[in-house]
Chains A and B, each alone.
Chain A
Amino acid sequence: MRKIESKDIISRITDLCADANFNLPQDITDCIASYIKNDDSISDKILKEILENAKIASQEKIALCQDTGTANFFVKIGKNVEIVGDDIFCAINKGVAQGYTKYYLRKSIVCDPLDRINTKDNTPANIYCDFTDGNEIEITILTKGGGSENASFLKMLTPLDGWEGIKKFVIESIKLKGANACPPIIVGLGIGGDFASVGLLAKKAILRTIGSKNKKQEYDKKEQELLEEINKLNIGPMGLGGVPTALAVFIETKHCHIASMPVAINIQCHSCRRKTIVL
């Protein structure tokens, strides 16, 4: 059994909060750059601002976006690991509190949805743990802003709605709220599971790298098909027309009940702040 001290997790998480908020992943910047045409269009101006912003954030160590988000963590704990000290939830929350304070990140969490008193250290984080083989802990952070989260939808479709029903739901949802979600967006689509789990499927879909293939070939084709349809909507960067409206569509699926077809659409803005570390 390999022992990992919780204090080591706390210090790695502290720095991970900053790293994710200061540095836009390369797959995102590469994809945005590929759409620049060097003309005088508004969409070009916006895409260039996004790339310039990424440079400034990384050089100046300043957050890419003022909405430094809800801190989401996806954790895979090897079965041969023993965490000594605080448990994983407590360690991650301590790291978030330290990281958001030390690096001057915005504290965006309120403890109650109605009284709305700020917790002042951006905790609690949303932490999802899975168990796996091996003697390591893999932790992925996704700092998710409120604007794109508010443009997300969940609907209980029925089996006969089929793929056409899903497509219609996605297109209608993006027409309705896409412009407010800081496009170009990434669309995380969860299909299957149940009411509780389909939202998490959609959120996990966002973690994929742009250019990566869906493990199931038939869904890979569906991702491309939806991406093309979304980019025909002409919503464009910041909702002002043109392309791209979306940089990618990622689908995650799961078993479900014979009567059900839950579908969740989790929208990610262009500032897709995710990063993985292994301890």
Chain B
Amino acid sequence: MKITIEQLLQNTDKYKAGTQIELSGTIYTARDQAHKRLVSLLNNGEKLPVRLKDSCIYYCGPCPNSPDKIIGSCGPTTASRMDVYTPAMLSNGVKIIIGKGKRSKEVVDSIKDNKAIYLIATGGVGALIAQKVKSFKLIAFEDLGPEAIYELVVKDFPLIVAIDCFGNTLFR
């Protein structure tokens, strides 16, 4: 099913665990070090380089792009490393998270409390996912290299709802 970020944001409750979607819209990469910095800024009441409200965060550290390509390989990284920061990100407005692998009970509860949604992309298929990226721009924390925050505009990004807004999970 093809949907946009806006459609997903309006009706997170329509997309149950197990639903396969192709998502289009603007997403932001953030992984370990970017999460650490964002949550530290939040805790200190400082201004953030991205608006978290109704945002979609993608756990990804892409390869650099060669001159003839929009982006290098850009698949998901293991989400559980971000578990400790995810409740803070969700309570500050992040609605959609994209990664791979299981999440902690605290994250599942936080997804439920904030009516958010956790989508998974297939790990290790970064070349395929790169074909779905239409633009790629550095937003913040350039010194982190692949761990910086980048803005990606994606078209038909293949994903599966792994934890829905009711806290149902696909993982066994």
Contact = CB atoms under 8 A, between A and B. Distances in A.
A147 B123 contact: yes
A137 B80 CA distance: 41
Interface in B61-88: 61-66, 69, 72-75, 77-78, 80
Given A42-B160, A179-B101, A52 B171 contact: no
A45 B73 contact: no
Given A68-B63, A239-B172, A240-B160, A57 B127 contact: yes
A269 interface: yes
Given A147-B77, A239-B171, A49 B128 contact: yes
Contact of B122 (A50, A106, A150, A179): A50
A120 B127 CA distance: 22
A60 B125 contact: no
B60 A45 contact: no
The SS class assigned to the B binding surface is loop
A63 interface: yes
Interface residues of A, number: 44
A131 B123 CA distance: 37
Interface residues of B, number: 40
A107 B145 contact: yes
Contact of A67 (B18, B66, B69, B77): B77
A66 B61 contact: yes
A64 interface: yes
Nearest to B124: A271
B122 A49 contact: yes
Contacts of B130: 56, 62
A45 B75 contact: no
Closest 9 CB pairs between A and B?
A53-B125, A180-B101, A63-B73, A182-B123, A57-B127, A271-B124, A66-B126, A53-B128, A66-B73
Interface of A: 42, 45-46, 49-50, 52-53, 56-57, 60, 62-68, 103-108, 116, 118, 120, 145-147, 150, 179-180, 182, 234-241, 269-271
Interface of B: 18, 20, 33, 60-66, 69, 72-75, 77-78, 80, 100-102, 120, 122-128, 130-131, 144-146, 158, 160, 162, 170-172
